[in-house]
């Protein structure tokens, strides 16, 4: 039987977190390996989705340019489409808003834009090229997330 849980990453998880990020960001999205690895210098908070003791998803938040950024949001390719990412995103947003954060900024791929939009996120600009594909600026606020959390199963119209 599968056991899936969402939690804050521990120091001993970071090797597996970075291996998953490297596989997706470098291997699939063609982001240079050194750019993927430079992420740790931003001193992020990280979360994981863990299935039967194996890290299968990650997300992170860090401060940059005077604002809180969220991203590094991935699920291992074999498990995509099972809503693991949606639940991980909701878990991380709830934890960040519980810390007193009022709004979160991200530059997201199309799939993430759709997921965050159902949670109250709003697109803040046009997509821009980013390695293999594009990213779109998105904001999510504590108030919009709280409102949409009550309607999560049906989605939320912002």
pLDDT of residue 156: 64
- Residue 139 CB burial class (10 angstroms; 0-12, 13-18, ≥19): middle
pLDDT of residue 2: 73
Cα distances from 157 to residues 55, 82, 104, 110, 151, in angstroms, run 32, 22, 18, 17, 9
| Domains, the chain, ordered by start | 4-154 (3.40.630.30)
Strands (E), 10-83: 45-51, 54-64, 67-75
- Residue 49 CB burial class (10 angstroms; 0-12, 13-18, ≥19): buried
pLDDT in tens, the chain (158 residues): 478 999 999 999 999 999 999 999 999 899 999 999 898 899 999 999 999 999 999 999 999 999 999 999 999 999 998 999 999 999 999 999 999 999 999 999 999 999 999 999 999 999 999 998 999 999 999 999 999 987 665 556 55
């Amino acid at each position: 039987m599968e056991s899936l849980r969402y939690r804050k990453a521990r120091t001993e998880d970071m090797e597996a977190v970075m291996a998953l990020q490297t596989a997706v960001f470098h291997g699939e999205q063609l982001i240079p390996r050194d750019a993927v690895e430079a992420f740790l210098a931003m001193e992020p908070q990280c979360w994981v989705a863990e299935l039967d003791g194996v890290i299968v998803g990650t997300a992170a938040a860090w401060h940059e340019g005077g604002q809180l950024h969220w991203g590094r949001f991935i699920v291992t390719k074999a498990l995509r489409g099972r809503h693991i990412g949606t639940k991980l995103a909701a878990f991380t947003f709830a934890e960040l808003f519980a810390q007193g954060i009022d709004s979160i900024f991200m530059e997201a791929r199309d799939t993430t834009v759709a997921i965050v939009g159902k949670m109250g996120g709003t697109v803040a600009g046009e997509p821009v090229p980013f390695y293999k594909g594009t990213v779109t600026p998105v904001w999510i606020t504590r108030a919009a997330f709280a409102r949409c959390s009550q309607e999560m199963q049906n989605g939320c119209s912002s």
